[in-house]
Structure 1
Amino acid sequence: MNSTQEPPPLEGRTVLVAGASGGIGEGMTLGLLQQGAVVVAAGRDAARLRRVSDYADGCGPGTLHTQVIDVADSDSAAVRRELTERYGLFDGAVISIGNWGPPRRAGILDTTDEVWDEMIADNLTSHFRALRAVTPLIAPNGALVHLSGFSAEIPYPGAALVGATNAAKKSLLRSLTAELDGQGPRTYELVIGPIRTRPRAALGADSPAWLTALELGHHAGRLVAGLGPWADEPLQYLLDRASGVHTTVPL
């Protein structure tokens, strides 16, 4: 009796990961490679991308390309032109960029204009520009996966600008979804809790209750492929392993 094995769900599909050299982006890159994707791992630092490439070597049937580029550059047309000339249209894209800001928490009343400007630039303006540059590069039957933190939904004392920018960038993606109105790639806003990553673990911040970046990559890959029970849900909450996936704010 001959047995047949189904091909990986992303075989033959090309997926861009913006922010691939970050902890979450690295894990998501691995998850997409394990599902057979041709992954274009994009980031601003060549050395960090080389480390991702070394870490991902032999991890799955997919193929990895690294691309030094800033998808949040103000010249979105130049970003699109460079990526299109090398890769054509993408079947999917993941946007995992951002900055936690100063390591020491500070209340709103103690936050300086300098920190405010930095957080708006790194956590909001960057996402606006990335969406503007990347969305037109995705095939109409493809998918855009965008990440925001759960601090978008709750008070976040001591790191209010993280919460404020998460809420704002979530709103950007939700508005983009409404503007596309089904006339472009499917869009997914993933609102996530703490994620297990290699950098976090190295700092001692780790919990088996958290989802791993690799698991998040597997989830994103199935969305890009249009598979599974969540493929028709543009807003999803993934807070921890026990909670699973929600489509409204978990109480």
Structure 2
Amino acid sequence: MDAPRGTALFDLSGRTALVTGSSQGIGRALAQGLAEAGATVVVHGRDAAKAERAAAEIAESTGRETHVALFDVTDAAAVDAGIADVEARLGTPDILVNNAGIQRRNPIADFTDEDWHDLVATNLTSAFLLSRRVARGMIARGSGRIVSIGSVQSQLARPSIAPYSATKGAIVMLTKGLCADLAPHGISVNALAPGYFATELTQPLVDDPAFSAWVAGRTPAGRWGRVDDLVGTLVFLSSDASAFVHGQTIFVDGGMTAVV
């Protein structure tokens, strides 16, 4: 059979995608976009009602099959059990999107041990645990796509979020390291790094006139990102169109990291 060409390179029909933290916010938009590109999507969360509602909405709007997975991404045993359940239903996912993440803000002198450990566990350890577990099935199959969600804060620092920046910087290097291990097995590993995006979690900042003015002035595109702005890059990284793209972090930030 001939290799896909043109727009067919972006077709995800027949593939399954697990998006962690996808019951709301950026993860919800990413799951929707993958379904619209043809994938069978597994919506993940810890709140069953929210995850099931998101999955039902995606299925209704796209006509695609959707599933729900409920487990703690920071706990190795829970990840193992959660992926085993997904594999029993659908096989090893073709696409893993490590999206689950949190933010904590405080000046570094006041930053608590608990907040540090929560950030590392949710933003970094989860990506390691999910990638390690899913990679086993991907290696056996000889194919797969892993995309981790980074941030402009992997390159740019701001006051009060040093630990968050550390976790996102680590995602860049975890992506490179996973590439070294997994590319020989036909698995591509990349990261997608958003700039400032308007979501439920950032709404207080969006509503702050001074902060929104700063975002608009600091971003060459002159605005906050919209969650739909991330979908095209994710579909690219999840599809045959990116078959020779390995170990890269692609910034979707309106140009913020391109300018001083």
- Which residue is equivalent to 1:3? none
How large is the RMSD of aligned CA atoms in angstroms? Answer: 2.7
- How far has the Cα of 1:158 moved from its partner? 0.9
Instruction: Render the CA deviation track for 1:178-224: whole Å, top value 9, x for unaligned.
Output: 12242241111112212233554587458773443233233212322
- Which residue is equivalent to 1:250? 258
- Which residue is equivalent to 1:113? 113
1:32/1:62 contact within 8 Å kept: no
Partner SS state of residue 151, structure 1? helix
- Which residue is equivalent to 1:155? 157
2:252 to 228, 239, 242: 239
Cα distance change of structure 1 residues 227 and 196 upon mapping to structure 2, 3 Å threshold: farther
- Which residue is equivalent to 1:92? 95
Instruction: Render the CA deviation track for 1:96-130: whole Å, top value 9, x for unaligned.
Output: 011112xxx32111212222222222222222222
1:12/1:36 contact within 8 Å kept: yes
TM-score by length of structure 1 reads 0.81
1:213 aligns with 2:224: no
Point out where structure 2 has 5 or more consecutive residues left out of the alignment: 1-6, 217-221
Partner SS state of residue 186, structure 1? strand
Cα distance between partner residues in 1 of 2:81 and 2:56: 29
- Which residue is equivalent to 2:241? 227
Aligned residue runs from structure 1 range 69-80, under 5 A: 69-75=71-77, 76-80=79-83
Partner SS state of residue 58, structure 1? helix
2:127/2:148 contact within 8 Å kept: no
1:141/1:185 contact within 8 Å kept: yes
> Which letter maps to 1:250?
A
Name the structure with the higher strand share: 1
> Which letter maps to 1:86?
R
1:141 aligns with 2:143: yes
Cα distance between partner residues in 2 of 1:237 and 1:119: 22
Name the structure with the higher helix share: 2
- How far has the Cα of 1:175 moved from its partner? 0.9
Partner SS state of residue 27, structure 2? helix
Cα distance between partner residues in 2 of 1:63 and 1:231: 29
Partner SS state of residue 221, structure 1? helix
2:85 to 79, 82, 86: 82
Cα distance change of structure 1 residues 194 and 231 upon mapping to structure 2, 3 Å threshold: farther
1:174/1:189 contact within 8 Å kept: no
1:209/1:240 contact within 8 Å kept: no
- Which residue is equivalent to 2:170? 168
Cα distance between partner residues in 2 of 1:124 and 1:30: 24
Cα distance between partner residues in 1 of 2:244 and 2:65: 24
1:24/1:213 contact within 8 Å kept: yes
Moved more, 28-37 or 139-148: 139-148
Cα distance between partner residues in 2 of 1:53 and 1:45: 12
Identity %: 29
2:188/2:246 contact within 8 Å kept: no
- Which residue is equivalent to 1:58? 60
Partner SS state of residue 15, structure 1? strand
2:51 to 49, 52, 63: 49
> Which letter maps to 2:228?
L
> Which letter maps to 1:160?
A
1:9/1:36 contact within 8 Å kept: yes
Cα distance change of structure 1 residues 231 and 35 upon mapping to structure 2, 3 Å threshold: farther
Cα distance between partner residues in 2 of 1:215 and 1:42: 21
Instruction: Render the CA deviation track for 1:115-149: whole Å, top value 9, x for unaligned.
Output: 22222222222222222223334343221111111
Alignment size in residue pairs: 237
- Which residue is equivalent to 1:40? 42
TM-score by length of structure 2 reads 0.79
Cα distance change of structure 1 residues 224 and 239 upon mapping to structure 2, 3 Å threshold: closer
1:22 to 18, 21, 24: 24
